[in-house]
Amino acid sequence: MRQQEDVGTQYRSIILTLSPQQQAAALRSRDAYQQELSQQHRGDITTSIQPAGDFYYAEDRHQQYLHKVPGGYCGLKGTGVPCPIAT
């Protein structure tokens, strides 16, 4: 998994769902946005969509990182491609 300069599964994006309805909505949204990205010749969405299980917060130093370190590194940037609302 890779996001900009960050490599490894700890940097992956994930949507955790609490119900079949949330799972279906997340999949519809992903599919609609993938169509928009593809039209702009962007890559595939690699975000995992899975039912929620046990969740553990990262260490405190990682919480609200950019608030704590305003000039800190963040490799995430927008694509400039708007996401349509999936119905």
Q: Is the pLDDT of residue 5 over 70?
A: no
Nearest to 3 by CA among 39, 47, 36, 34: 47
How far apart CA 69 and CA 26 sit, in angstroms, is 31
Architecture in CATH of 2-68: 2-Layer Sandwich (3.30)
Among the listed residues 9, 17, 4, 20, the one whose alpha carbon sits nearest the alpha carbon of residue 55: 17
DSSP 72-85: --------S-PPPP
> Which amino acid is residue 17, in one-letter code?
T
Domains of the chain: which residue ranges? 2-68
Q: What is the pTM for the complete model shown?
A: 0.68
pLDDT in tens, 7-64: 777 777 899 999 999 999 999 999 999 999 999 999 999 899 999 999 888 899 888 8
Beta-carbon count within 10 A of 33 CB: 19
